[in-house]
Amino acid sequence: MADFISGFWDLYVAGFVAFSLLLCLILMFANMTSQESGAPQLQGHVWDENLREYNNPLPRWWLILFVGTVLFSIVYLVIYPGFGNRKSTPENDAGLRREYAEEIRQAKAAPNNLEKYAGTQNLAALATDKDAMATGQRLFLTYCTQCHGSSGRGSKGYPNLTDNDWLYGSSPEVIRTSISEGRAGNMTPFKGVLSDAEIKMMADYVLALSKGKSEEPDYAQAKGIYMQRCVTCHGVEGKGSFLSFEATDIGAPNLTDDIWLFGGDLETIIDGIKTGHNEPMPAIKPMPTWKLFLDDAKLNLLAAYVYSLSKK
């Protein structure tokens, strides 16, 4: 009842409630008869030509029940509380609010199930814990499925987590960092640096790398540009930053395999070289900074679960 601005409405409603209860009793006692013997009294009305109603005394148990319900509703209104502007608090509330407060208290007092994973150091061992991984899967289905799919096989722009091909490294610790800190691409846009013809040439070279044909004489010029522009991140052999330098912060992909984050057709590759894959605003990362949202226990479980996906 505390939702009203003016105290008048509390009184108004309370008045109505009290009046209704009183009316129930008045109607009851004003209309009943006590005559038990003699000719039965009639209510006086006639329905359907000849249906008349007796005005018989009420059975005692019925009367007690009626008065009892009125008394019950008064007690109920006071205890619940539902009368006037008496505010419901967990302390004076006999109903759901108190039960709710009690449940919250119990939940807070109970040792949090996930809490025990907060200090886990050995994520690889956690990945073999069946119970933990069941929880990990539920967390994954809640937070990760939207981009990586419930199978974890990813989608365009979001890596497949099941194939043991890693941009930043395969250890569970690196995976945990990826989750907690978030990730954004570091590929520089080459539009303006290279001409359109050169970009096309480089895209052909990237495709050749993935097919193992990059040493063919056709690609000599492209290789020259590669060694000048791309080698810093993708490495001499084109195996990407992690495999080439064990760098866990660049994320340059391995170009020698047939795994493509954004698509393996010529057009997509040209587009990628032209516009790059870095974010104009580093704060908004395609892989969010989950530590802002998830606690250590959940981060550990998710890291271990993602690690376990690649180990299947």
Partner 1 sequence: LYAAHKKIYVRSTSGLFARWRWTLVWLTQVIFFGLPWLTWNGRQAVLLHLVERKFYIFSWVFWPQDVLFLSVLLIISAYSLFFFTAVAGRLWCGYACPQTVYTEIFQWIEEKIEGDHVARAKLDKAPMSGRKFAIKSLKYMVWAVFALWTGFTLVSYFSPVKELLASIPTFGFGPWERFWIFFYGTFTFVFAGSLREQVCRYMCPYARFQSVMFDPDTMVVTYDEARGEPRGFRRRGEDPAAARGECIDCGICVQVCPTGVDIRNGLQYECIGCGVCIDACDPIMDKLNQPRGLVRYTTENALKQGWETSEITHHIMRPRTLIYGTILIGIIMAFFWGLFARIPMRVDVIRDRTPTGREVSGGMVENDYMLRFMNMTESTQTFVISVDGLDGIHISSDKQQVTVDPLRNQEEIMVVQAPKESGQVGSNRIYFEIVSVDDPNMKRREKAAFLYPK
Give contact residues for partner 1 (rule: CB under 8 A): 32, 34, 36, 56-63, 141, 145-147, 149-151, 153-156, 158, 258-259, 263-264, 312
Q: Which of 189, 169, 296 is nearest to 243 (CA)?
A: 169
Shortest Å distance, C-beta 255 to partner 1: 15
Shortest Å distance, C-beta 150 to partner 1: 5
Shortest Å distance, C-beta 88 to partner 1: 26
Residue 233, strand partner residues: none
Looking at beta carbons only, is 222 or 261 nearer to partner 1?
A: 261
Shortest Å distance, C-beta 160 to partner 1: 8
Measured distance CA(118)–CA(240) in Å, rounded = 33
Looking at beta carbons only, is 45 or 60 nearer to partner 1?
A: 60
DSSP-derived 3-state class of residue 310: helix
* Phi, psi dihedrals of residue 46, rounded to the nearest 5°: -130, 130
Give how far Cα 127 sits from Cα of 136, 177, 307, Å. 9, 16, 7
Looking at beta carbons only, is 43 or 145 nearer to partner 1?
A: 145
Looking at beta carbons only, is 152 or 251 nearer to partner 1?
A: 152
Looking at beta carbons only, is 87 or 156 nearer to partner 1?
A: 156
Shortest Å distance, C-beta 226 to partner 1: 23
DSSP-derived 3-state class of residue 309: helix
**Which pair of tokens denotes residue 219?**
């690609």
Give how far Cα 90 sits from Cα of 87, 94, 99, 101, 148, Å. 10, 8, 8, 6, 43
Shortest Å distance, C-beta 294 to partner 1: 20
Give how far Cα 291 sits from Cα of 32, 51, 179, 181, 268, Å. 72, 78, 8, 7, 32
Looking at beta carbons only, is 224 or 263 nearer to partner 1?
A: 263
Give the type of residue at 81: P
